[in-house]
Every structure is written in structure tokens, then in C-alpha cells.
Structure 1
Amino acid sequence: MIALLQRVKRAHVDVGDRRTGAIGPGLLLLLCAEPQDTEAVAEKLLAKILKLRIFSDEAGKMNRSVQDIGGGLLIVSQFTLAADTSGGNRPSFTGAAPAELGRRLYEHAVNFARAQHPVVATGEFGADMQVELINDGPVTLPMRM
């Protein structure tokens, strides 16, 4: 799985005129499943993200996790993270999981996160989404499991 994490002051996702998810301070997680991924991979990635110490403590050091601060987690599916741009001028997305597998792993990741953390919001798998955020720091981290 490929993840792009952004520490945010706030973030929300809209599909058309409907808001599907919103958080205050916390993490925006853009998530992409790859063909070889499994539920165990999704769980390992989410467990790591929830414990990742990227929020400041009293001394200003990145020493707290999203769980430590009681922050939100906004999970948005994003197959374009698997883009291969090594060829011509049009990216290839063959590295992303097929839609059925991607949906299953995305939903599993969301359910796992909700079982571990009280504040989890989402986008809508496969939808044309508008994501708005106020990046905090900025702190943006790529991850791959």
C-alpha cells in the first residue's frame, strides 16, 4: 500500500454538494492499494500511522502521535499514488489495485482505523472528490508497506 500523510489543522472532502468527511487537527491520509496488498498489509500500515510521532510536544519536538493528541484521521482513496510517469507524458496507473480489490482494502483500512481510533472520517471510494486542507507545518510524509 502507498500512503501520503499530511498533518493538517483541518481538512474536509466533498463529493458534489455533499460533505463526506471532515476533521479538525489531525492527519489527512491519501491511500492507494496495489495488486499484491492484503488486509494484513492495510492493518500494519494503519497501525503504524496511528502511532507515528509527528505532532509537537511541549518542547516543540515531533514526539506525539495522532492518538496522543486526540486528532482526527481523514482517509481518502487515491489510486493515482501508484502512477508510473517513467514513460511518455501520460501516467500509467497499472500499478494500482483493480477497483474491486482497491475498494475492499480501502474499506478494510477504514474499519480497522475506526476500531483503533475514535475520530475517523472518509472520502468516497471511486468518486470525484474535492479535498480541502490547511497543511500544518507543512508536514507531508510518503509511506509504503
Structure 2
Amino acid sequence: MSRNNLRLARLAAEVCVMVTATTAAGLAIAWPASAKPYVQDSYIEVPQCQPATSQLCPQIPTASVGAIMAPTVSFTANANHCSDIIAHVFIDGEEFGSDLLEPGETTPEFPLEDLRPHTVGIQAEGVPGGCNRGWVDAWGGTLHFKGTLPLS
């Protein structure tokens, strides 16, 4: 074998090793072998705010999620809402953030603490416009929990 052919063969072998190592590392980082994806959707609503006399609906419906790894939660307002709302996100009883949502729109994902159960609630605040006449009558939507479950 000529010297140039030997160099080409060595270079090809090095490239194969690098591609194999990079692929293996990518797979190891992409998803832990000891975990599987977890998704939970929980519908929440207030069919009639009591009292329906202000923009802030006093009821805060909740949903819970068990202990999962790398948990997040987001909220999607019902597509049949006739006006925008501000969704106030409560995690374990404390307001964590809020987001202005049009009907059918979803908040960003909010991180939850790893490996412990959580209760998440939404309080809706009305925004004048559409059918909003200065107060919120009713609202609803879906909480989306995502994370990974450790395999036993």
C-alpha cells in the first residue's frame, strides 16, 4: 500500500471513530436510559366566578402532579374564550408568574422543583374587550405537566 493510501485509510478510520464517539455521546446526553417521558394534561375551569363583579375571578382551580424529574407546567386557555385573560400561575400556593393569553394560547413552560409532588393553580384576570364587559364570568383551560419518570 502506498504512503498516500495509508494516510487516507488512517484518516478514514479516525473519522469513523469520531462519528461513532460523537453519536454515542449525543445519545447518552439526549435521554437518560433510566428515565421515560411523562406527560399529564389536566383540565381546570371556573364555570361561574363567584362573585362575577370584577376582572379578577376569585376562584383558583388546581391540579396536582407527582414526583417527576425535570418537571415543567404550562397552561392553555380555552379556544372558546371570547376575550383575553391574564393567567396567574400559582405553584404550591405561591404566585410564580403570569402571562397574557388570547383564546387558545399557551403560557411558556414554568419549571417545577425536581422529585416532589406539586399543586398548580390558575387564577384568571379579565382583559376588557370582546365579551368582557368589566368582569370575568367564567373561564377554563388545560394544565400541561411534562417531565420524566425514573424507571424502577
Give the TM-score taking structure 2 as reference length. Answer: 0.28
Bigger helix fraction? 1
